[in-house]
Chains A and B, each alone.
Chain A
Amino acid sequence: DAKTTQPPSMDCAEGRAANLPCNHSTISGNEYVYWYRQIHSQGPQYIIHGLKNNETNEMASLIITEDRKSSTLILPHATLRDTAVYYCIVRAYGQNFVFGPGTRLSVLP
């Protein structure tokens, strides 16, 4: 079973920031938080991952709470092409990636 809880769906207006929450209250100290997304009929696409510190790359920012029990993926300026299912996964070295149902993000014009 997935170790994360995400809302099943969210809407975001085009050009606004999309903030996708993830709860991982049972995360262990050596588990990383990963985010992937899957656009319809394509393979999952890696977005970002982190352990304790906030991370930013060209796609998104990852904000992890100090107690590491939750995190937020931020897409700073959502576009229609960001419409996808977003998966939050916690995983330590040697463990498999376990995907839950994710959050279906709809970016609206």
Chain B
Amino acid sequence: DTGVSQDPRHKITKRGQNVTFRCDPISEHNRLYWYRQTLGQGPEFLTYFQNEAQLEKSRLLSDRFSAERPKGSFSTLEIQRTEQGDSAMYLCASSLAGDRETQYFGPGTRLLVL
């Protein structure tokens, strides 16, 4: 257990529905990252926050995806109008900014879109 938690751990939804995932980082960490991982691939960066500011978004993050970190603590990732191609593991990681920054990952949320 790294101290990063994610909820839910599994989500099955029908195409077209909206889903929201939550990540609770290690409490003193100021950075929070979201990644997506499909079968057989390494995690792919989606976006990250430093405190409550969203500093970078990947081109993978389409308009249907939105992430927030309103008080600089927990974060949510929402996918609107889900598509079957959104089926993946969504991973959250947190860290303290710095040149020796180390990210600690949560267990992930596995999404299946039917």
Categorize the interface residue count of chain A. 20 to 34
Complex CA–CA separation, A30 to B98 (angstroms): 13
Interface of chain B, main secondary structure? loop
- Of chain B, the residue at the smallest CB distance from A100 is B42
Categorize the interface residue count of chain B. 20 to 34
Complex CA–CA separation, A87 to B37 (angstroms): 14
**Chain B positions 45-99 with a Cβ under 8 Å from a chain A Cβ:** 45, 48, 56, 91, 93, 98-99
Is there contact, CB below 8 Å, between B91 and A43?
yes
- Of chain A, the residue at the smallest CB distance from B104 is A46
Complex CA–CA separation, A46 to B4 (angstroms): 13
Residues of A with C-beta under 8 A to B103? 46, 97
Q: List 12 A-B contacts (CB under 8 A).
A: A32-B99, A41-B108, A42-B107, A43-B106, A44-B43, A44-B93, A46-B104, A87-B42, A93-B101, A97-B103, A99-B43, A101-B40
Q: Which residues of B contact A (CB under 8 A)?
A: 2, 4, 33, 35, 40-45, 48, 56, 91, 93, 98-108, 110
